[in-house]
């Protein structure tokens, strides 16, 4: 059994929801999962305690947050020492082929900037959480949604995440873990 960290950065909450689902899938796969918001790490939190690391974050105005970049740079040594995965959440990933290519480009730009080569990378469609937006953001997102053919009913939140794709991402990450990581618990028997 491996001890797997799922660290995420979210603004409106969709990446948290996906990170929690990743944690649930990891546990169903027979491993230990800890899901951590990088804005509020628990006291004494250390990446050294984990055998594998999944990082998730969302796109706002064409990029991942500066906070995420700092987090990955700060923990680069550990991220390079263990199997790691990155998932990026955006509206582009729910769009046309060109927009999906943009979502992948955001990931490539980020990992290059952060000097990190995750074993597995994925882009997931996020959502439009109108109920979490202030007046200005709601107005702006309605315009963007209209232009992109997405939901414009701002009285409720809309979700485009493909949960089967999330499950597959976890499965492919777990399948790539070394027996050393997956059989750690057994070796103690």
Ligand X SMILES: Cc1cc2nc3c(=O)[nH]c(=O)nc-3n(C[C@H](O)[C@H](O)[C@H](O)COP(=O)(O)O)c2cc1C
Q: Does 123 bind ligand X (CB under 6 A)?
A: no
Which span (45-53, 57-65, 108-116, 174-182) binds ligand X, by CB under 6 A? 57-65
Q: Which of 141, 145, 166, 174 binds ligand X (CB under 6 A)?
A: 141
Task: State the residue number with the nearest CB to ligand X.
Answer: 126
- How distant is the alpha carbon of residue 81 from its chain centre? 20
- Interface with ligand X: number of residues (CB under 6 A): 21
Q: State how far the Cα of 80 lies from the Cα of 176, in Å rounded to an integer.
A: 15
CB of 153 to ligand X, least distance (A): 15
Sign of the C-alpha dihedral, residues 6, 10, 15, 20?
A: positive
Distance in angstroms (rounded) separating the CA atoms of residues 33 and 54:
10
Q: Are 57 and 68 in contact (CB under 8 A)?
A: yes
Q: Identify which of 35, 47, 32, 122 has the alpha carbon closest to the alpha carbon of residue 86.
A: 122
Q: Does 62 bind ligand X (CB under 6 A)?
A: yes
Tokens for 29, please give them: 């796969």
Residue 58 interacts with ligand X (CB under 6 A): yes or no: yes
SS3 for 73? helix
Contact characters 84-113, ligand X, x per CB under 6 A: -----xxxx---------------------
Q: Which of 3, 78, 100, 137 binds ligand X (CB under 6 A)?
A: 137
Query: Which stretches of the chain bind ligand X, using CB under 6 A?
Result: 10-15, 58-62, 89-92, 126-129, 137, 141
């Amino acid at each position: 059994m491996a001890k797997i960290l799922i660290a995420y950065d979210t603004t409106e909450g969709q990446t948290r929801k996906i990170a929690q689902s990743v944690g649930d899938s990891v546990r169903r796969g027979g491993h230990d999962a800890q899901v951590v918001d990088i804005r509020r790490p628990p006291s004494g939190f250390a990446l050294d305690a984990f055998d594998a690391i999944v990082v998730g974050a969302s796109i706002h105005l064409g990029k991942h947050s500066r906070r995420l970049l700092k987090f990955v740079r700060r923990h680069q040594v550990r991220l390079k020492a263990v199997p790691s995965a990155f998932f990026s959440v955006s509206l582009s990933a729910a769009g046309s082929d060109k927009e999906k290519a943009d979502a992948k480009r955001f990931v490539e730009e980020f990992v290059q900037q952060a000097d990190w080569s995750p074993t597995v990378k994925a882009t997931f469609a996020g959502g439009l959480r109108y109920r979490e937006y202030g007046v200005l953001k709601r107005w702006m997102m309605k315009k963007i949604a209209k232009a992109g053919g997405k939901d414009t009913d701002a009285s409720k939140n809309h979700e485009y995440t493909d949960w089967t794709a999330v499950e597959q991402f976890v499965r492919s990450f777990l399948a790539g873990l070394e027996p050393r990581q997956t059989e750690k618990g057994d070796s103690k028997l």
